[in-house]
């Protein structure tokens, strides 16, 4: 056993670790039996706020309903982040195989759409306005590289933030057996504060992932 064993998928052939990503699908439907329930009203309010945010970012009236995709992406990542905070539940959002599966197809579809539909607009993005002519070759290279690494930065940002918090929680929890009662009480208090911080990080990272995805889609329109 090592420190990173909590992030390692089981080597069993019929492993169900990745099924934790779909657990919320079983939990969410019962709340719709009584509508409007408080839970459903909370989700509706959150979706309305997210819709306003994404609508301002995208600014594309021809793609009506496109905000639904990004709100669904936000919800999916958020639920997986929260599930990974529970004990003995596989942290799927802390793996690059999970985050790259979300970011790479998004980026690839945006690039294909942009270069086929708005080729001139995509070329214009590679050369910033009012840039000196002597710097244009270097700016094109820099802009191209920054565009290529976007799916990687999206995936690594989410993975690194989830891993960092989980490792800190694990390190603090493993030291509890060798502490006195007074220090153990302080450790429990610190763990509670850290879990609150991790809950905030789970929300923020899912919001950042979906917001950046919406911004990337705006550039190709």
In a domain, 46, yes or no: yes
Yes or no: say if 6 and 166 are a contact pair by the CB < 8 Å rule: yes
pLDDT for the residue numbered 63: 62
In a domain, 108, yes or no: yes
Could you list the residue range(s) of the whole structural domain that residue 60 is in?
14-219
| Total structural domains within the chain | 1
pLDDT for the residue numbered 129: 73
pLDDT for the residue numbered 87: 78
pLDDT for the residue numbered 41: 80
Q: Distance between CA 96 and CA 163 in Å, rounded?
A: 11
In a domain, 4, yes or no: no
Rounded alpha-carbon distances, angstroms, from residue 103 to 54, 84, 141, 148, 196: 17, 19, 22, 12, 27
Longest dimension (CA), the chain: 69
Give the count of alpha carbons within 13 A of 166, CB side only: 28
pLDDT for the residue numbered 205: 92
In a domain, 5, yes or no: no
Q: Quick one: how far is CA 204 from the chain centroid?
A: 8
Query: What SS3 state is found at 211?
Result: helix
In a domain, 30, yes or no: yes
In a domain, 7, yes or no: no
Q: Which residues of the chain have pLDDT under 50?
A: none
pLDDT for the residue numbered 164: 87
């Amino acid at each position: 056993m090592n420190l990173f064993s909590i992030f390692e998928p089981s080597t069993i052939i019929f492993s169900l670790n990745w099924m934790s990503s779909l657990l919320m699908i079983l939990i969410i439907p019962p709340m719709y039996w009584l509508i409007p329930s408080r839970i459903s009203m909370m989700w509706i309010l959150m979706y309305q706020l997210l819709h306003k945010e994404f609508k301002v970012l995208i600014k594309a009236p021809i793609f009506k309903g496109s905000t639904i995709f990004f709100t669904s992406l936000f919800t999916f990542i958020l639920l997986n982040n929260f599930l990974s905070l529970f004990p003995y539940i596989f942290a799927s959002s802390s793996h690059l195989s999970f985050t790259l599966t979300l970011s790479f197809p998004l980026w690839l579809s945006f690039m294909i759409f942009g270069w086929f539909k708005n080729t001139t607009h995509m070329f214009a993005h590679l050369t910033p306005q009012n840039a000196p002519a002597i710097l244009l070759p270097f700016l094109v290279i820099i802009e191209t590289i920054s565009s290529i690494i976007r799916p990687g930065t999206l995936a690594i940002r989410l993975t690194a933030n989830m891993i960092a918090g989980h490792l800190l929680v694990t390190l603090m929890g493993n030291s509890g057996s060798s502490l006195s009662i007074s220090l153990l009480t302080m450790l429990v208090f610190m763990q509670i504060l850290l879990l609150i911080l991790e809950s905030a990080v789970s929300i923020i990272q899912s919001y950042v992932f979906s917001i950046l995805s919406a911004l990337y889609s705006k550039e190709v329109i």
